[in-house]
Amino acid sequence: MNHELQIIARPQTGALERILRTLRVRGFEVQRMHADFDTARERFHLGVWLQGERAPDVLERQLLRLAEVETVLAVHASTRSAAV
């Protein structure tokens, strides 16, 4: 199953690595990722398209436990494969 998450995070040292590691450890494979840095708010805006068999609600809670992550929004889920 494919999932899309929108994540807003503070730019702390190692923040992106911790986010990606959490995705991997929880059994999700990143299919595509888009990252922008909002200079006015000093925040990363990440769009992450994932594939995994687990429900993303547990993943959302785990990401929110990371100190640098402010918000996580699950945009949609789909059973079709991601095309890049």
Q: Where are the domains positioned within the chain?
A: 2-78
pLDDT digits (tens, 9 = 90+) for 35-75: 999 999 999 999 999 999 888 888 999 999 999 999 999 98
Looking at domain 2-78, does it have CATH number 3.30.70.260? yes
Residue with tokens 């200079």: 39
Long-range contacts (CB closer than 8 Å, 24 or more residues apart) made by 33-42 = 37/11, 42/10, 42/11
Q: What is the pLDDT of residue 77?
A: 59
Q: Is 84 helix (H, G, I), strand (E, B) or coil?
A: coil
- Report the predicted TM-score, pTM, of the whole model to 2 decimal places: 0.84
Number of H helices, E strands in the chain: 2, 4
Q: What is the pLDDT of residue 64?
A: 96
> Residue 32's CB: how many other CB atoms inside 10 A?
14
Beta 29-38 vs 2-9: how paired, if at all?
A: unpaired
Q: What is the pLDDT of residue 78?
A: 54
Position 29, amino acid? E
DSSP annotation of 12: -
- Structure confidence at residue 84 as a pLDDT band (50, 70, 90): very low
